[in-house]
Amino acid sequence: MAVREILIHPDDRLVQVSRPVEFPLSDEVKELIRDMADTMYDAPGVGLAAPQVGELLRIAVTDTVWRDKEVRHDGDLPGGHRELKVWINPEFLWKSDEMETWEEGCLSVPETWGDVSRPAALRLRWFDEHGVQHEQDFDGFQAVALQHEFDHLDGKLFIDYLSPLKRRMITKKMKKLYKS
């Protein structure tokens, strides 16, 4: 297990569409999932998609349970509680017409936030790391976080929902701060 480098916008790999994962999972994919979890917690973040660490696979990890609780600014979770979820080949089956607006940020667009409107509820089908298929409804922050992470699998960032002017300003800022 290792902490991987998180790609920063405007890295071209962040706008590519990821390919489905095949089962059974290879040892390399299992290692990637462990590394993604380590990387997400180290950042710290509530989610991370494989393209953010340079792997164009339809995999994301999240831990949103602690989001609505008091979060310490040093990144530690209250009481050390973690509830890691692994999402492989996720597919939206339904999204509500009702929209909610949340302030979003992204590990690939550091120190940048913006209000994004997304469907307030959704139904999702996905596989876990054991190859078991699940189907469940989500709402609130978890629905927002899942949509945000799964956008990465389709080459989209939260800034794509912002005005063109704001996107250009953010891109210029990222290029200046994170020259490669």
Q: Domain boundaries in the chain?
A: 27-97+120-156
148 annotated as belonging to a binding site for a ligand: yes
Mean pLDDT value of segment 33-44? 95
Model confidence pLDDT, tens digit, residues 99-146: 999 999 999 999 999 999 999 999 999 999 999 999 999 999 999 999
Whether 155 and 51 have beta carbons less than 8 Å apart is answered as yes
Catalytic residue (one of 55, 104, 129, 149)? 149
Contacts of 157 (CB under 8 A, 6+ apart): 9, 14, 15, 106, 108, 109, 151
Other residues' Cβ atoms within 10 Å of the Cβ of residue 159: 23
Reported as a pLDDT band with limits 50, 70 and 90, residue 178 is confident
Question: Strands 109-119, 47-49: parallel, antiparallel or unpaired by DSSP?
Answer: unpaired
DSSP 120: S
Q: Which two tokens stand for residue 53?
A: 């660490």
Q: Specify the fold of 27-97+120-156.
A: Peptide Deformylase (3.90.45)
pLDDT at residue 68, rounded to an integer? 47
152 is in an annotated binding site: yes
- pLDDT single digits (tens) 55-71: 999 999 999 875 544 44
The answer to the question of whether 73 is labelled as a binding residue is no
Judge whether 149 counts as a catalytic residue: yes
